Structure 1
Amino acid sequence: MTTTGDGGPAVRRLAEWDADDLLELAAEYDTPLYVIDRDRVTENCARIREAFPDAHVDYAMKAHAGQAVLRTVREAGLGAECASAGEVERAFDAGFAGDRIRYTAVNPPGRDLDRVVERWREHPGLTVTVGAADTVDRLRERGFDGRLCVRANPGVGAGHHEKVQTGADAKFGIPIERVADLAAGWADEFELVGVHAHAGSGISGDDLPAHRELVSRMGDLTREIESRAGSLEFVDVGGGFGVPYREDEPPLDLDAVAAATREAVGDTDATLSIEPGRYVVADAGVLLTRVNTVKRARDATVVGVDAGMTTLLRPAMYDAYHAIRNLSADADGAEGAGDATGSRETTPVTVAGPICESADVLCEQRPLSRPRRGEILAVGNAGAYGYEMSNTYNSRPRPAEVALSGTTVRLARRRETIPDLTELER
């Protein structure tokens, strides 16, 4: 296991979670069940701060906006980067001060702007990031003249899937060649504090050249704006730092990424700012699910479980890989405990959920210790974009979530019920 400073191991593999502890949680809280380890979140925050000691670090709340995580992140010294008015409210609920909250708008609905401007009047340290001149007009109409950050589209994207490569997507930000002119004009009317760009999500070692190019372009943009409109407080180059989802993938060399980022941004008085999300929480979470059906199909053994694409959307949405482990098989024999396959005979299986869609599979033809009905499987790296993307399609209530801290286990979110789903209906 690779370790880095005080931040704990550089990556926590699914095999390193204690099978007996997870089985006890499944027995007490039922399944599907998300488990988030707050201590691991703290370790990941510490490793980021160690690699970027002079940077301003905001946590990208879209990865996991549960209060247990947000309070842990705040206690670790990170700020909050919010993609919606709802996330802004969650950040305040978690105790973040207004000057530690940044609202990054992407085509924001009017009610979002209404709420955020209302919050800004109460907390003038709140920063609003805009990705369109039209958004500035809408803020002006609402009386906003506070801290403004401009999101640029640098024309460079990276990430684990084309659907999350934002840096070159026209939806995100103002074309970088137009930003300096606009920013210079806005500096007289607003408190222009920074510029922002984000390459994408799940950036791996192969993506680093593109990320460095984005950072370099943002450094050039910062210097151009400073020469025309005065100094900026920060230059935000986004987050998207990847984690190894496959068992044989190495962890990201965060120190090397930090060094390359500092070199690429170049000389400027603006503070480097980053906004990691996935890196903070992905390997701090697992999803527990119970086997309900095992059947032999024509070309596969299908293992039906009670978690599906409404519980964990990433495999259906991005064809994402998540490690899967048969905890019950591991607990059967000390020889296999802690091993992804355990001591029982392994067989290739397709793990499928209960949703009426062919895309509702967590893996296909994956070697697992042969599952039996009633056994518990664990899905790894479920802390990022797991619960956040869960939904109630097929009228399936969302799962419960427990938060671990040392030896303390707390129910962080209760399990939804069918009456919860119909409560708002008339």
Structure 2
Amino acid sequence: MTNPADSPAVRRLDDWNRDRLESLAATHETPLYVIDLDRVTANYTRFSSAFPDADVMYAAKAHTGKAVLEAVLEAGGTIECAAWGELQRSIDAGADPNELQYTAVNPPDHDLDYAAELGAENPGLTITIGATDTLERLAERGYNGRIAIRINPGIGTGHHEKVATGADAKFGIPYKRVPAVANRVREAFDLVGLHAHAGSGVLTDDLEDHCRAIERVGDMARRVGDDDLEFVDVGGGYGVPYREDEPPLDLEKTSDMVREAIGDLDAQLKLEPGRYVVADAGLILTEVNTIKKAPDTTVVGVDASLSTLIRPAMFGSYHPMLNVTAPDRDAEPMTVGGPVCTSADVFAHDRPIARPERSDILAIGNAGSYGYELANQFHSQPKPAEVALEGDDARVARRRETLEDVTRLEQ
């Protein structure tokens, strides 16, 4: 295993061992997710080292696979969860429920039932609320434990408007109402922290807006009494460069700016990186099945689709691509799409790629974050397998679904 301290700040597709990738595709078929656990560990260690006095919690929603959760826990991390299933899966991976943080967003009754019961048995569990309704519903369930208040700072950042949560009314208590809600929490619960999350996919150029939101969180912490709080959680959202010419996040600058923005606090700083930990640790291998010349482009058909990776269709996201089989062929503009019957099922438009041929293996990079988590069964396509790499070892972390898996709940 590579020493995490020596790992590069960003891993490009060219950095993967192409012979190993071709062997994985041949052994496990395609489409195939590949997650490198050594890279997960290195990314978490690098980030946490930049914030040595903070509690760095991995945001499980980025990739909730058991192998990933185990790697984070082994690296000394704790876990932030956004749904009851993530809580249970974290516990199954070995997390101490007393160290988990559950960020409830319009939680269904079942989620609150589970969280309240878990908190009763494990008083260290923290529940983050973003609506006073959630307080009332927790009280109805007999919960009187640890509460953090999610603040809506009114400032959103990130790679797309759909992830700029800091300015979205769906998330958090309106800023001006926080002091009154804090007093209300103290009457019936244990107020332990404040929380905010400005957005997702934050890179160095986005830090100014990101830190304006953090500054507001620090101001509010001092206003409600940071000496009476255990922590102030400024969320995650720290990004990785998806495009080949984008530089990686400057962690030293990020650490300096975040600390300056939050200001002097008696409470501990918390952060919740998710994408940063897993994005460049994962990729998708897909096989070329069709080459079609069209008037304005060459269409390359592959066996992966938007049911494999939905981010390009959902967010217009750019994911780097590499012809693993023949990277040295002349590059030509290609439109790469899958077998799903919609124009949204396209991974790249007129992208220069080493000229593919049928049966070539292509790699789709930066798929470790919100890749498998958003995979679906549209067109009755079974979800792909996922292989976990650790040192020289490779193991199936999730087997490939069958059509029986797709239909087994039907009656």
Q: Is the 8 A contact 1:56 1:272 kept in 2?
A: yes
Aligned to 1:338: none
The 3 A distance-change label for structure 1 pair 180 and 257 is same
Matched, 1:359 2:344: yes
Aligned to 1:75: 74
The 5 Å alignment of 1:69-218 reads: 69-218=68-217
Q: Which one of the candidate residues 404, 407, 410 is aligned to 1:419?
A: 404
Aligned to 1:306: 303
180-189 vs 287-296, which moves further: 180-189
Matched, 1:296 2:269: no
Q: Structure 1 residue runs of 4+, over 4 Å off?
A: none
Counterparts of 1:7 and 1:386, CA distance in 2: 27
Aligned to 1:397, what secondary structure does the other structure show? coil
Counterparts of 1:293 and 1:121, CA distance in 2: 56
Counterparts of 1:386 and 1:424, CA distance in 2: 24
Aligned to 2:220, what secondary structure does the other structure show? helix
Q: Is the 8 A contact 2:151 2:174 kept in 1?
A: yes
Aligned to 2:239, what secondary structure does the other structure show? coil
**How far apart are residue 7 of structure 1 and its match?**
5.6
**How far apart are residue 403 of structure 1 and its match?**
0.3
Aligned to 2:239: 242
Q: Is the 8 A contact 2:151 2:178 kept in 1?
A: yes
**How far apart are residue 375 of structure 1 and its match?**
0.9
Aligned to 2:24: 25
Counterparts of 2:318 and 2:336, CA distance in 1: 12
Aligned to 2:56, what secondary structure does the other structure show? strand
Name the amino acid aligned to 1:84: A
Counterparts of 2:25 and 2:380, CA distance in 1: 22
**How far apart are residue 298 of structure 1 and its match?**
2.1
Counterparts of 2:186 and 2:305, CA distance in 1: 49
Matched, 1:233 2:230: yes
Aligned to 1:44, what secondary structure does the other structure show? helix
Consecutive unaligned residues of structure 1, counting only runs of 5 or more, are 330-341
Counterparts of 2:175 and 2:323, CA distance in 1: 49
1:155-182 Cα deviation digits (max 9, x unpaired): 0110000000000100000001101111
| TM-score normalised by structure 2 residue count | 0.98
**How far apart are residue 98 of structure 1 and its match?**
1.3
Name the amino acid aligned to 1:11: V
Q: Is the 8 A contact 2:195 2:234 kept in 1?
A: yes
Name the amino acid aligned to 1:66: G
**How far apart are residue 255 of structure 1 and its match?**
1.2
**How far apart are residue 204 of structure 1 and its match?**
1.5
Counterparts of 1:68 and 1:4, CA distance in 2: 19
Name the amino acid aligned to 2:309: L
Aligned residues: 410
Q: Is the 8 A contact 2:4 2:43 kept in 1?
A: no
Q: Which one of the candidate residues 370, 383, 388 is aligned to 1:385?
A: 370
Consecutive unaligned residues of structure 2, counting only runs of 5 or more, are none
Matched, 1:374 2:373: no
**How far apart are residue 4 of structure 1 and its match?**
11
Q: Which one of the candidate residues 275, 280, 300 is aligned to 1:278?
A: 275
Q: Is the 8 A contact 1:4 1:10 kept in 2?
A: no
Measured on the aligned residues, the alpha-carbon RMSD in Å equals 1.3
Q: Is the 8 A contact 1:7 1:46 kept in 2?
A: no
Report percent identity of matched pairs: 58
Aligned to 2:176, what secondary structure does the other structure show? helix
1:311-362 Cα deviation digits (max 9, x unpaired): 0011111111111000111xxxxxxxxxxxx221221110001111100000
The 5 Å alignment of 1:315-354 reads: 315-329=312-326, 342-354=327-339
Q: Is the 8 A contact 1:311 1:398 kept in 2?
A: yes
Aligned to 1:210, what secondary structure does the other structure show? helix
